[in-house]
Amino acid sequence: MTLDSKIPAGPLAEKWDNHRFQSKLVNPSNKRKYDVIVVGTGLAGGSASASLAELGYNVKTFCIQDSPRRAHSIAAQGGINAAKNYPNDGDSVWRLFYDTIKGGDYRAREANVYRLAQVSSNIIDQCTAQGVPFAREYGGQLANRSFGGAQVSRTFYCRGQTGQQLLLGAYSSLMRMVGVGKVELFTRREMLDLVVIDGKARGIIVRNLVTGTMERYVADAVVLATGGYSNVYYLSTNAKGCNVTASWRAHKKGAYFANPCYTQIHPTCIPVSGDYQSKLTLMSESLRNDGRVWVPKKKGDDRAARDIPENERDYYLERKYPSFGNLVPRDVASRNAKEACDDGRGVGPSKTAVYLDFADAIKRDGEDVIRQKYGNLFHMYHKITDEDPYKMPMRIYPALHYTMGGLWVDYNLMSSLPGLYVLGEANFSDHGANRLGASALMQGLADGYFVIPYTIGDHLATADLPKVSTDHEEFVKAEKEVSERQNKLLSINGKRTIADLHKELGLLMWDNCGMARNEASLKKALKKIPDLREEFWNNVKVPGSGEELNQALEYAGRVADFMEFGELLVSDALDRKESCGGHFREESQTEEGEAKRKDDDYSYVAAWEFQGVGKAPKLHKEELVFENVKLTQRSYK
Amino acid sequence: MSDTINLTLKLWQQKGPNEKGRFLTYEAKNISTHASFLEMLDVVNDELMEKGEEPIAFDHDCREGICGMCSLVINGRPHGPDGGITACQLHMRKFKDGETVWIEPWRAKAFPVVRDLVVDRGAFDRIIQAGGFVNVNNGGAADANALPIPKRNAEAAMDAAACIGCGACVAACRNASAMLFVAAKVSHLSFLPQGAVEKRERVLNMVKAMDEEGFGSCTNGGQCEAECPKEISVSNIARMNREYLAASLSSS
Ligand SMILES: Cc1cc2nc3c(=O)[nH]c(=O)nc-3n(C[C@H](O)[C@H](O)[C@H](O)COP(=O)(O)OP(=O)(O)OC[C@H]3O[C@@H](n4cnc5c(N)ncnc54)[C@H](O)[C@@H]3O)c2cc1C
Ligand code: FES
């Protein structure tokens, strides 16, 4: 199969308009004849469910949590970008497009990114209309802040809880549609397989997490909005339940997985404190607006931060990148923190941390102003570390945070499997090899509110979709496979806990395919993962039964998928012998140690086709064509 | 401060909504004071599993105080002894070596126990479904700056909107009333011009749904505010009562 990205013809700025005009529509009274399954209720799934239901489709929506309002999007702190240019500082659709393409290190599709920038303004309008309480200026207008990788202020925010407020907005629209009967909501359900009939996605198998019953659902199209896969690294800033299961099972059914090695390490997280650690907490990047990053100049300096005089501190980001300073993109900030620590200049008990210092900002603006901007983040930091960041600098270290890779989708957000759409963090579409801060929320809502409502109609109107029932043999087969796998997990009764095995996988991934990667480390990981997978399937202990609420069983299923998926991620990293964005191959760097792309050889999207567990996946390349921007090595100096 | 402590845990165990529950006593040894409360439970559950016993089910996800999933009554207090946080943000440094710690689920008629420490909070979703939204379809919204909103109103709306829907207010109330939860949503939307348009219907519909779910009535005990991890103010309840009264008068 060849990959057709379906990028519309014509000038960049007209593509989306033209495309919408040329797409087939489903007439309003026919919409109610179509059923759409949406898996996931984060920003992407929540907004898609609400919008599709408003149009008249019958929507069935699924999530793992007890309420759609608890999807991981709730945790996003810093903000959402939009090219409103309210501050009059030179922003435009073009600039947001350009910043995103450049920030992504020229590994994203121009057409998708341009569309994202185009609809960004509508998102802010829509959310405001829903009652999202964005921060405001005294004159009553919306306030903006700046974020890494941009020289304009285009980030809208709700204190440090932007994701929460945007998600509650989408959730309220979703619940409104539940109320009028257009969305049927299924909470505490986990999708365990995709059902493909005559080459088209037609349904899903889910496990009812309360009763343990396997359930079958049929539809005319399936939309996955199940989030990212950072938890393959065990420790990440993601919620504990985040997983790759839905995407991975779809991949095994034929959907290609694109650029899995593009992972984002966030520079400002609270450092690891002990081996009981179950997750890492992010301190929003917005803090870098006012906080200054530094380490002591001297190696092994054990003095308390306050006792280190100004001239013995190295504000290394300001020193190395004078024009962006503390606001360089995430990958650059992360690698520099690692470098400082590898150089023996890390701080704190573990020596794997750097300072993020607010003393100057507090002196300049006063504690009240800082409290108003970041109060809840400071509070969170204080509660976790027992240290008061108003009095002493925060200690931060990079952690796995976001995954740019995901299921491959075309311009319509349809995967390589007809009828299967993928939205939000689960797809690979818009961020290339690195995502800019405040752009994930934008993309999730763009996909759900403003893209899928237009593009799904074309498939429904043109594809041959005969009625099928859940008795179809493909449903029977899929359910049987899922049950057998579950029974196998329950029957192993080995010696090791699920978390123990997950930690081992995570550490293996972090050490060999983390902030920096090289051929030797990747080959080592590729050798070790299959062994670990075998150890898992022979020696894991999963208590209880399948016919009840069994959190250990849920977890085991997700870890089992990570054990397969990790190998794909590493294979992709090995294939890409260039550095780009979050993917830093040590073999490919400039003399100054900056990432070096190899555009002649690697200017493609790597879309992988599943060939069997433990078998080398098959690579399909989608060449990236840049007609509107000139490729340069990124420089934030 | 790299201390460890030993604790005696009393953990609520209950197979299902209609089964009888009981406390399991468990000696938790060498718990790091830097660990979070849920990390302590992870350790306990791993030990239980290693011994071939079933772990205790509890809800959690974000582990940073924002998803509202975690829902533990610790030593009689929703989300535990420390104010202004959720159970997942509670750290073991708040406990003393040798202490006995009681861990129970939310207890309220409208929140039936699903298993052990996991409860069903679907009632909250159904209350939102009844009116906790602005009736606006996607597409065609006016420019976000077309309607200026005084900063103080936006801030007040945000204060109320900070609710994470965890249900601690219900668990804290002796009548298991959901007034704070409902009032927070009503206030959030009433403070904004976008939401104010439908405020009458909203308050009536949401209160009706709340009553149908079997929550108790509010007798102004104030425990809800005291235990709310987001410190949502009870003044929202007073505001909702006024709105409710006005709405009932004008609709009757
Ligand atoms: C701490 C933190 C802070 C962040 N801050 C920002 C920020 O300031 N700005 C920004 O732009 N981005 C931020 N991000 C990134 C952003 O929050 C996420 O990328 C985005 O919210 C993902 O949204 P989503 O809808 O794709 O998926 P999610 O919100 O992760 O939702 C996934 C949904 O899928 C469901 N699901 C998953 N698997 C299954 C399954 N197998 N079966 C059924 N349902 C399933 C879940 O229940 C959930 O409803 C942050 C991320 C983190 C971790
Ligand atoms: S786990 Fe999310 S609030 Fe506690």
* Domain ranges for chain B: 4-104, 121-251
User: How confident is the model over A35-51, as pLDDT tens digits?
Assistant: 999 999 999 999 999 99
Q: What type of residue sits at position B240?
A: M
User: How confident is the model over A280-304, as pLDDT tens digits?
Assistant: 999 888 899 899 999 999 999 999 9
Q: How confident is the model at residue B110 (pLDDT cuts 50, 70, 90)?
A: very high
Q: b/e per residue, A56-78, with b = 16+ CB within 10 A?
A: bbbbbbbbbbbbbbbbbbbbbbb
pTM: 0.96
Q: How confident is the model at residue B1 (pLDDT cuts 50, 70, 90)?
A: very low
Neighbours of A538 (CB within 10 A): 11
Question: What average pLDDT is seen over chain A?
Answer: 95
**Residue range A97-101: mean pLDDT, rounded:** 96
Q: What residues have CB less than 8 Å from B63, skipping those under 6 apart?
A: A239, A240, A278, A279, A281, B36, B38, B70, B88
A472, pLDDT greater than 90? yes
Longest distance between any two alpha carbons in chain A, whole Å: 74
Check residue A383 and give its pLDDT: 86
**Residue range A527-540: mean pLDDT, rounded:** 98
Distance CA A576, CA A605 (A): 10
Q: How confident is the model at residue A160 (pLDDT cuts 50, 70, 90)?
A: confident
Q: Residue A277 and residue B52: Cβ atoms within 8 Å?
A: no
Please give the distance, rounded to the nearest whole angstrom, from the Cα atom of residue A28 to the centre of ligand 1: 31
Dihedral sign of CA atoms B94, B100, B103, B107 in order: negative
Distance CA A319, CA A325 (A): 7
Q: Which ligand is nearest to the CA of B70?
A: 2
**Residue range B222-244: mean pLDDT, rounded:** 97
Q: Which residues of A touch B141 (CB under 8 A)?
A: 122, 125-126, 128-129
CA–CA min distance A20, chain B (Å): 15
- Placement of tokens 């980030």 in the chain: A155
Distance CA A550, CA B49 (A): 12
Nearest one of B80, B83, B97 to B36, comparing CA atoms: B80
Q: How confident is the model at residue A350 (pLDDT cuts 50, 70, 90)?
A: confident
CA–CA min distance A439, chain B (Å): 19
Domains of chain A with bracketed CATH: 15-263+402-462 (3.50.50.60), 265-401 (3.90.700.10), 474-598 (1.20.58.100)
Nearest one of B40, B49, B54, B45 to B88, comparing CA atoms: B40
Distance CA A167, CA A249 (A): 26
Q: b/e per residue, B185-208, with b = 16+ CB within 10 A?
A: bbbbbbbbebbeebbbebbbbbbe
Q: Please, which residues 174-213 of chain A have a Cβ atom closer than 8 Å to chain B?
A: 175-176, 178-179, 185, 187, 210
Tell me yes or no: is domain B4-104 CATH 3.40.50.150. Answer: no
- Placement of tokens 């020696």 in the chain: A539
Nearest CA in chain B to A545: B54
Q: Which residues of A touch B209 (CB under 8 A)?
A: none
Question: What average pLDDT is seen over chain B?
Answer: 96
Pocket test for ligand 1, best of A226, A443, A555 (most atoms within 8 A of CB): A226
Distance CA A479, CA A192 (A): 9
Residue A288's SS3 state is: helix
Token pair listed for B32: 């790091």
Check residue B251 and give its pLDDT: 66
How many residues comprise chain A?
A: 637
- Going edge to edge, which strands form the sheet with A35-39? A183-186, A58-62, A35-39, A221-224, A420-422
Q: How confident is the model at residue A239 (pLDDT cuts 50, 70, 90)?
A: very high
- pLDDT-above-70 percentage for chain A: 100
- pLDDT-above-90 percentage for chain A: 90
Cβ of B69 less than 6 Å from ligand 2: yes
User: How confident is the model over B26-78, as pLDDT tens digits?
Assistant: 999 999 999 999 999 999 999 999 998 999 999 999 999 999 999 999 999 99
Q: How confident is the model at residue A151 (pLDDT cuts 50, 70, 90)?
A: confident
Nearest CA in chain A to B64: A281
Is A314:A292 a contact under the CB 8 Å cutoff?
no
Distance CA A24, CA A462 (A): 7
Token pair listed for B40: 């302590």
**Residue range B103-108: mean pLDDT, rounded:** 98
Beta bridge partners of B28: B7
A and B: number of Cβ contacts within 8 A: 214
Residue A130's SS3 state is: helix
Nearest one of B110, B230, B115, B118 to B173, comparing CA atoms: B110
Consecutive H or E run containing A512: helix A498-513
Of the partner residues A128, A273, A497, the one whose CB lies closest to the CB of residue B194:
A128
Is A600:A570 a contact under the CB 8 Å cutoff?
no
Q: What type of residue sits at position A339?
A: E
Q: Residue B133 and residue A130: Cβ atoms within 8 Å?
A: yes
Distance CA B39, CA B79 (A): 14
A626, pLDDT greater than 60? yes
What DSSP designation does A477 have? H
Please give the distance, rounded to the nearest whole angstrom, from the Cα atom of residue A627 to the centre of ligand 1: 32
A252 touching B, CB under 8 A?
no
Please give the distance, rounded to the nearest whole angstrom, from the Cα atom of residue B83 to the centre of ligand 2: 15
Beta bridge partners of A11: none
Phi first, then psi, for residue A425 (nearest 5°) are -65, -25
Q: How confident is the model at residue A1 (pLDDT cuts 50, 70, 90)?
A: low
Q: How confident is the model at residue B2 (pLDDT cuts 50, 70, 90)?
A: low
Q: How far is CA B102 from CA A242, B70, B84, B119, in A?
A: 29, 16, 20, 17
Q: How confident is the model at residue A427 (pLDDT cuts 50, 70, 90)?
A: very high
Q: Which residues of A touch B15 (CB under 8 A)?
A: 548
Q: How far is CA B34 from CA A308, A386, A558, B62, B89, in A?
A: 26, 9, 28, 18, 11
Check residue A331 and give its pLDDT: 83
Cβ of B90 less than 6 Å from ligand 2: no
Q: Which residues of A touch B117 (CB under 8 A)?
A: none
Check residue A183 and give its pLDDT: 98
Q: What residues have CB less than 8 Å from A587, skipping those under 6 apart?
A: A518, A519, A577
CATH superfamily for B121-251 is Alpha-helical ferredoxin (1.10.1060.10)
Q: Residue B46 and residue A497: Cβ atoms within 8 Å?
A: yes
